[in-house]
Amino acid sequence: MLKVDNLHVNVDHKEILKGVDLEVNPGEFHVVMGPNGSGKSTLALTIAGHPKYKVKGGKIILDGEEVTGLGPHERVRRGIMLAFQHPPEVEGVKIIEFLQQVLVELKGLDPVEAYDLIVEKAREFWFKEEDLHRFVNVGFSGGERKRLELLQAALIEPKLLILDEPDSGVDVDSLSLISRKIEELHRKGIAILLITHYGRILQHIDRESITVHVMKDGRIVRTGGGELVDRIDREGFAGIFGEVGA
């Protein structure tokens, strides 16, 4: 489904990704780990189409079609959605109106249907109807922001959901909800590409079924199974980097 082929990316004229290869097939669960600055978020934002991240070489292919040059809105329409690490505040724009418009445009719902669906789903993510009349992310805690990202994923139901550190800056209760919801989305057949530092977010995920990629300095230096997560939790990255000579 998603194929990232020898991807080189510059940000502000500095090369951040130095040839990344990655393949995610329908319904698979991939985890990307790596120290700060290794290029994990750059990979996520580049796949989602952030204009600041300039592709200098390589391709991003979705379902056999190259999407490297497409705008972010066209990518999500084709099924790639990014849940942000730092969702920005959008002053003046109400969550409900924003999401209604998204569902009208993406799913062809009428606004009233969309409204009902959003309010119903929002409850599962601990948002009351009146919360949805707040402005997007304005004054939200870390947990609220990440829950709102997951709510949007549940509404949009992409083919591939990229989660950029859904566990950072989140309180314990929210973390548990988020972890469960990721598992739920995955069970519905959504492929997951999850970026994290810690294994805890994977508490509800079957370790046997996941593929783990370890990044360092703009490259994937090791790919393996779920056991890598526990190993990294125990020993940090040093051991793995030592083995691969990175």
Site string for other proteins, 138-167 (x = CB under 8 A): --------------x---x-----------
- Nearest CA to 131 out of 170, 98, 95, 99 is that of 95
Compute the least distance from the CB of residue 50 to other proteins, in Å.
Answer: 6
Q: Should residue 51 be labelled a site residue for other proteins when binding is judged by CB under 8 A? A: yes
The residue from 126, 135, 198, 241 that contacts other proteins (CB under 8 A) is: 135
Q: Should residue 73 be labelled a site residue for other proteins when binding is judged by CB under 8 A? A: yes
Cβ proximity to other proteins: between 94 and 200 the closer is 94
Q: Should residue 49 be labelled a site residue for other proteins when binding is judged by CB under 8 A? A: yes
Q: Should residue 110 be labelled a site residue for other proteins when binding is judged by CB under 8 A? A: no
- Nearest CA to 155 out of 129, 181, 176 is that of 181
Phi, psi of 46, rounded to the nearest 5 degrees = -70, -40
Cβ proximity to other proteins: between 135 and 198 the closer is 135
Nearest-angstrom CA–CA distance, 109 and 113: 6
Stretch of 30-38, 83-91, 124-132, 201-209 lying at the interface with other proteins (CB under 8 A): 83-91
The residue from 55, 70, 93, 246 that contacts other proteins (CB under 8 A) is: 93
Q: How many residues bind other proteins (CB under 8 A)?
A: 32
The Cα-based distances of 218 to 4, 6, 33, 133, 175 in angstroms read 13, 11, 12, 40, 28
Compute the least distance from the CB of residue 200 to other proteins, in Å.
Answer: 26
Q: Are 246 and 65 in contact (CB under 8 A)?
A: no
52 to 71, contacts with other proteins by CB under 8 A?
52, 71
The residue from 18, 94, 121, 219 that contacts other proteins (CB under 8 A) is: 94
Strands (DSSP E) contained in the chain are 2-11, 14-24, 29-33, 53-62, 65-66, 80-83, 90-94, 135-136, 160-164, 191-195, 210-216, 219-225
Nearest-angstrom CA–CA distance, 187 and 195: 19
**Angle at the Cα of 100 from the Cα atoms of 134 and 191, rounded to 5 degrees:** 100
Residues of this chain that bind other proteins (CB under 8 A): 48-52, 71-73, 75-77, 81-82, 84, 87-94, 97-98, 101-102, 105-106, 135-136, 152, 156
